[in-house]
Structure 1
Amino acid sequence: MKRIFIHIIFFLLTSSQLCAQQADSLFAFNDSTRMIKRPWRAAFQTAGLNIGVWAFDRFVMNEDYAKVTLHSIGKNITNGLVWDNDKFSTNLFAHPYHGNLYFNTARSNGLGFWKSVPYSFAGSLMWEMCAEVEPPAINDFLATSIGGVALGEVTYRLSSLVLDDSKSGSSRFFRELLGTLISPSRGLNRLVTGDAWRVRHKFYKYHDYEKLPVKFSATLGERYLADNEHFFKGSNSPYIEFKVLYGDPLQETTKQPFDYFNFRSTINLIGNQPLIGSVNLIAKLYGKHLEPVPGHKILVGLFQHFDYYDSERVITGSKNIPYKISEAAAFGVGMVYQFPARKANIRQSSFINAILLGGSLTDYYNSIDRNYNMGSGFSIKSNTSIEFKKYGNFELNLQYYRIFTWKGYDGINLDDLTNEEKLYLNAQGDKGNVQLAVINPMMDIDLGYKIKISAGLYYYLRNTHYSSKPDFLFHTIETRLGLKYTF
C-alpha cells in the first residue's frame, strides 16, 4: 500500500512538471535561442533611424532645419539646450512617439525594460545635437526620452498581443501588419530576422493571458465640446476611444515594470479637432502587495504617468481654445485598493506625482507655433471604479495638475523679435503657474453580447496666475455618448 501511494505521488509530481514544461514551451519569451541580447545592433538601428528620418527631411522634404553642417553641430553643442517654440502636438506627443521608436529598437533586440531606457535618451540627444540646425531643445530631450519610454513599453506589449508565430497565410500577414503598425521598430526587426514569416509550433505565443489578463475595449460615439462658459455653443464630432487595462494590479505575478498599466486614447474622426484628442497612461514600475485584513487587497508602488489633452477652437471666429494639458514626463507614488464586496467589484486608485515636464494653454505667449507654457510641478489623481457584474460599471476620474513656469520672457516684446531671435529666446512661456482640474464621471450599461452603452462627462477648469499680466480663469465641458465593444 505504501509503495502504491509513493507511485501516485511521483506520477502527480511528474505530470505537473510536464504540464508546466508544455505551457512554458508555448511562449516565445521562454525560448533561449531568441533571448540573445544584441545591444550593438540596437545602437546601430537607433542611429540608423535618426539618419533615415534626417535624410527624408533633408533630401525629400527639403526642410531648411535639416540642412545640417559640422558648423551647425558644433554651434548646437556650444550653445546648449533651450526651450523651443514648436506646436503642442509636436513637442508633447510626436516627440514622445519618436522616442518610443528608439526604445523599441532595444526591446526588439532582446534587451529588457531598464536596459532599453538609455537608447531612448541617446537617440534623443543625437537628434537634438546633430540632426537640426535649430538649437537643441531641453523640452524635446525630456519628452522624447522619458515620454518615449512610456509609450515604447506600452506599444511593445500591445504588439505582443497580436503576434502568433503558429499562424500562416492571410491571418499571419494581418497579424504582422497590425503588430508593425503598433510597434514599427519591432516590426522592422521581425522583417530583418525573418521572424515575420517563420512558422513555429513551439515558443510561438508572445503573451501569457493567465499571468497577465488583458481587457481591451473600443468605443464609437459622438462627443460635444463647448466654448468657454458658453455651454450651448459648441461643436459635435464623432470619436473612437481605445482603452486597455493590462494586467491585474492586485495580482502578485505583476512584478516587472509595466506588468500593470491603464491606457486610454481618444481619436477624433471628423471635424476641426486634432486627430489625437487625448492619451492617458498610468503604469506600475515597482510595487508591493499587501493584505492587512483578509479580502482587503492593496498595491503600493512607484508609477510612471503620461497625459495629453489637445483641442482647438470649437466656434468659427472664436479666440477660445478649450484646453491643452500635458504631463509628458512624470513619476510618483500610488496605491490601488480593492474593497471586498459580493455584488460589485470596487476599487480605489490614488496617485501623487512629480511632473518633470508639463504644458498648459496660455493666454498671452504666442511665438512662432507655440501658444502654451511649459514647466514642472506636481499632479494628484484619483480613480473610483465600481463594476456591477451583470449591469455595467461606473467610474469617477479626478485629476489635478499644478505646473510652474519658471523661466519667462519679462520685459521683452515678442513682436519686436525676428524668427531667428525667437529660436534662441529660451523661455518656457509666461512666468507664473497654472492650476488645471479635470473631472470625469463615466458610466457603462451592459446590453449583452459584449456591447455596452457608454456615457461620460468631462469638466475642464484652468486657473492661470501670471507674474506680470492679468490672471485668467477658463472652464468648459465635454460630453460623450457611444457604444462600447469589449474584446
Structure 2
Amino acid sequence: MKRIIPVAILVIILINISSLIGDETKCSYVFQLHKQKKFSFLPKIDSFSLLAADDTKGSTRTMQPNADYNSYIKRFPQITKDLIQQFSFEKKDLYAFSLKIPPDMFLISKNNKDYSKTALEIAGMNATVWVFNRYIMKEAWTNISLKSFLYNLKSGFTWDIDKYLTNQLGHPYHGALHYSSARANKLNYFESTICSFLGSVMWEFFLESEGTQYNRPSTNDLMMNTLGGMTLGELLFRTADLLVDESSRGLERVLRESLAFLINPAYGFRAFTGKAFKIGNPPKKHYYSLRFPFGAYRSSLNNKPSFLIAANLEYKDFLKKDLLKINPYDWFTLDCRLGFNNEGLRDKEIFTTGILTGKKLKNGLVGLFGIFDYIDTYAADKISAVGVGPGLVTMSSSDSDLFFNSSGVLSFIMGGSSPSFDVEYSHFGKRVNDPYYLGPGILGRINLELGKKNLGSIRTGFSQYWIHSILSHANEFLGILSCSLQCDLSRRSQISLGYDYYLRHATLEEQRFTGAKPIVRALYVLKF
C-alpha cells in the first residue's frame, strides 16, 4: 500500500501535465447582427401585391472569445436586442412596412491537434494498467528495469500464448482506449490508429519484463491492439460521445459522465482536466436507434432457462442531409449480449460492424467496413474476429409505413477459435489451460429486416466464420443463423421471440468434426 500511493500520484501528475502543456482549442463566434427588409404593397379592389425593396441592410461581427458564449452576450447587448423580431410601419409611406429578421450565429471551431497531450495520456493510461498489475495483481512480468527493456529489444517478438479473454478482447480494448485518447485530442482516424500501434509498442517493450519466454514482445498482442483500435476505438468513442451533454447539470451530468467513462475509460481524462464539470453547449444532433432487450433463453445443452441482458445500438449519422462525405463509423451497429445461469455469467457475445470509408447512396451506403466480434458461449464455444472488408447497407421505406433494412459484409479477418480437436497442439492459451487456435480467415455476414412502423418486424441474419490456424493445418468454421419476430407494444417497448442455430465444423488433415446447437429466446425490449 505504501508503494501504491506514490506511484498513483505520479500517474495523476503525468495525466495533468498533459492538460497543462496541451494546445488550447480556439473558437470564433460570428454574429450576423440583423437583416432589415422593407416591403411595400399595392392595394387593389380584391387583392394586393407585396414587393421587397433592394436596399436590404445588414451587418456582421466576429469575435474570438476565451470564455463562454454567455459572457459575450453581456458585453454585446446589441446582439440580445437584435434577437427580437421587430415589425413597424413606415411613417412616410402608408403602404410600406419594415421587418427586422433575427440574427444568425455561427460557431467556427479551430480544433488544434494536440500530439503531445495524446502521447502523455497514452503513457499515463499504460502506467495506470501497469500499476494495477504490479501492486494489486502482483504479476511477475511487471518487474521492469532498464535491463528488461534492453532484453526486449534484443530478444525480438514471439507469440503470446496467454488466455483467450486477454488476447482476443483485452488487447483490442486496450488499443481502442489508446485510439479514443487520440481522437479526443482532435487527431483523425488514421493518426489515432497509429497511436494505438505506438501505445502497444510502448507496452510491449517498456512495461513487460523478461524472466520467462512468455513475456517477450508479442506479435499477436501488437496486431490485436492496433486492429482493435482501428475497428473498436471509433465505435467506443462515438458511443460515449452520445452520452456526454455539457449543457446538463447536477445528477444528470454525473450519470452521463459516469456512463461515458464506463463505456470508454479514456473519458476519465475529462475529470482530471476539469472538462467533465464545465458547462458548455448542447450536444450535436445524432441519428441512432437504441434497444435494451432482456429476458429468458434456453439452449440444448441446458434445459434450465438462463437470463439474457443485451444492448443493441445502430448509429446512423450518414443520414444527415448536410453530410458531404462518409467519415469512419458514420454508420455502425453494436450488439452486446450477456447470459447468466445459476453459476453466474457464462455467455458473452459482442458483434460490431462499421463503415470505414465509402460512398453515400440514395437509400444507403457502400464501402469498406470494419469488423470486431467476440464470442464465448455454451452454444458456439469460442470464436473471435477483427478485420476489414467490402460491404453494403440499405434502408428503404414506403408511404404505407412499410420498411426494409439490410446490411452485408465480406471481411478478411484475424481471429481465434476454440479447437474442435487437437487440443494439445492448439498452442495458444496452453499457458493457462485455455486452448484456442489463432490465425487469418474470412467472415461473411448478412442481416435483413422487414416490418411495418408501430406494428413490428421480422429479422433474419446469417454469419459464417472461417479461422485457419497459423501453427497447424486446422480449419475451424462456425455458422450462426438467427431469426426473430418483434411485436410492438408501445412506442418504447416490444416483445421479441427468437431462434438461433449454431453450426460448428472443423477439419484437420483427415479428421472431420460437425456439431449443431440451437437456442430459443423470449425477450422484452425497451426502445430509445
What TM-score does the superposition give when structure 2 sets the normalisation length? Answer: 0.75
- Tell me if 1:101 matches 2:184: no
Aligned with residue 333 of structure 1, among 357, 370, 390 = 390
Matches within 5 A, 1:307-318: 307-312=373-378
Q: Which amino acid aligns with 2:184?
A: S
On the 8 A contact 1:220/1:239 being kept in 2, the answer is yes
On the 8 A contact 1:362/1:371 being kept in 2, the answer is no
Note the alpha carbon deviations across 1:66-98, whole angstroms, 9 max, x for none: 223333333333333322222221111111111
- Tell me if 1:115 matches 2:195: no
- Tell me if 1:374 matches 2:443: no
Distance 1:9 1:224, change over 3 A: farther
- Tell me if 1:285 matches 2:343: no
State the alpha-carbon separation in 2 of the partners of residues 322 and 147 from structure 1. Answer: 22
TM-aligned CA deviation for residue 322 of structure 1:
4.0
Tell me the residue number matched to 1:242.
Answer: 311
State the alpha-carbon separation in 2 of the partners of residues 243 and 198 from structure 1. Answer: 30
State the alpha-carbon separation in 2 of the partners of residues 449 and 311 from structure 1. Answer: 32
Tell me the residue number matched to 1:418.
Answer: none
Distance 1:71 1:31, change over 3 A: same
Tell me the residue number matched to 1:444.
Answer: 486
TM-aligned CA deviation for residue 274 of structure 1:
4.5
State the alpha-carbon separation in 2 of the partners of residues 442 and 147 from structure 1. Answer: 30
Identity %: 28
5+ long unaligned stretches in structure 2 = 1-38, 42-49, 61-82, 84-100, 210-214, 425-429
State the alpha-carbon separation in 1 of the partners of residues 255 and 344 from structure 2. Answer: 30
Tell me the residue number matched to 2:64.
Answer: none
- Tell me if 1:192 matches 2:272: yes
State the alpha-carbon separation in 1 of the partners of residues 51 and 373 from structure 2. Answer: 60
SS of 1:143's equivalent in the other structure is helix
How many correspondences in the alignment?
429
Note the alpha carbon deviations across 1:82-130, whole angstroms, 9 max, x for none: 2222222111111111112111111122223222111111111221222
Aligned with residue 366 of structure 2, among 273, 293, 300 = 300
TM-aligned CA deviation for residue 443 of structure 1:
1.8
State the alpha-carbon separation in 2 of the partners of residues 290 and 139 from structure 1. Answer: 37
Note the alpha carbon deviations across 1:297-346, whole angstroms, 9 max, x for none: 3421110011111125xxxxxxxx7421111x210001123455444111
State the alpha-carbon separation in 2 of the partners of residues 130 and 82 from structure 1. Answer: 16
Distance 1:259 1:67, change over 3 A: same
Tell me the residue number matched to 2:409.
Answer: 351
State the alpha-carbon separation in 1 of the partners of residues 526 and 329 from structure 2. Answer: 24
Tell me the residue number matched to 1:137.
Answer: 218
State the alpha-carbon separation in 2 of the partners of residues 249 and 391 from structure 1. Answer: 26
State the alpha-carbon separation in 1 of the partners of residues 55 and 133 from structure 2. Answer: 68
On the 8 A contact 1:160/1:207 being kept in 2, the answer is no
SS of 1:92's equivalent in the other structure is helix
Q: Which amino acid aligns with 2:501?
A: Y
State the alpha-carbon separation in 2 of the partners of residues 85 and 2 from structure 1. Answer: 83
State the alpha-carbon separation in 1 of the partners of residues 377 and 102 from structure 2. Answer: 53
On the 8 A contact 1:326/1:359 being kept in 2, the answer is yes
On the 8 A contact 2:180/2:266 being kept in 1, the answer is yes
On the 8 A contact 1:362/1:373 being kept in 2, the answer is no
Q: Which amino acid aligns with 2:329?
A: F
Matches within 5 A, 1:263-278: 263-272=334-343, 274=345, 277-278=348-349
State the alpha-carbon separation in 2 of the partners of residues 142 and 357 from structure 1. Answer: 11
On the 8 A contact 1:357/1:375 being kept in 2, the answer is yes
- Tell me if 1:226 matches 2:327: no
Tell me the residue number matched to 2:525.
Answer: 484
- Tell me if 1:72 matches 2:113: no
Matches within 5 A, 1:376-391: 376-391=440-455
Matches within 5 A, 1:30-49: 31-32=109-110, 35-49=111-125
SS of 1:471's equivalent in the other structure is strand
Q: Which amino acid aligns with 1:459?
A: Y
Distance 1:161 1:290, change over 3 A: closer
State the alpha-carbon separation in 1 of the partners of residues 523 and 488 from structure 2. Answer: 12
TM-aligned CA deviation for residue 248 of structure 1:
5.4
SS of 2:222's equivalent in the other structure is helix
What TM-score does the superposition give when structure 1 sets the normalisation length? Answer: 0.81
TM-aligned CA deviation for residue 353 of structure 1:
0.9
On the 8 A contact 1:262/1:281 being kept in 2, the answer is yes
On the 8 A contact 2:291/2:311 being kept in 1, the answer is yes
Q: Which amino acid aligns with 1:99?
A: G
5+ long unaligned stretches in structure 1 = 228-232, 292-296, 313-320, 409-430
State the alpha-carbon separation in 1 of the partners of residues 389 and 119 from structure 2. Answer: 30
SS of 1:368's equivalent in the other structure is helix
Alpha carbon RMSD of aligned pairs, Å? 2.8
On the 8 A contact 1:249/1:336 being kept in 2, the answer is no
State the alpha-carbon separation in 1 of the partners of residues 102 and 232 from structure 2. Answer: 35
State the alpha-carbon separation in 2 of the partners of residues 89 and 136 from structure 1. Answer: 19
Indicate the structure (1 or 2) with the bigger Cα radius of gyration. 2
TM-aligned CA deviation for residue 19 of structure 1:
8.4
SS of 2:431's equivalent in the other structure is coil
- Tell me if 1:465 matches 2:507: yes
State the alpha-carbon separation in 2 of the partners of residues 401 and 375 from structure 1. Answer: 12
Matches within 5 A, 1:396-415: 396-408=460-472
- Tell me if 1:433 matches 2:475: yes
State the alpha-carbon separation in 2 of the partners of residues 432 and 274 from structure 1. Answer: 30
TM-aligned CA deviation for residue 196 of structure 1:
1.2
On the 8 A contact 2:467/2:475 being kept in 1, the answer is yes
Note the alpha carbon deviations across 1:390-432, whole angstroms, 9 max, x for none: 2111111111112211323xxxxxxxxxxxxxxxxxxxxxx32
State the alpha-carbon separation in 1 of the partners of residues 227 and 55 from structure 2. Answer: 52
Tell me the residue number matched to 1:365.
Answer: 423
Distance 1:217 1:323, change over 3 A: same
State the alpha-carbon separation in 2 of the partners of residues 8 and 401 from structure 1. Answer: 67
Note the alpha carbon deviations across 1:51-76, whole angstroms, 9 max, x for none: 22112212332211222333333333
On the 8 A contact 2:318/2:326 being kept in 1, the answer is no
On the 8 A contact 2:420/2:513 being kept in 1, the answer is no
State the alpha-carbon separation in 1 of the partners of residues 355 and 511 from structure 2. Answer: 40
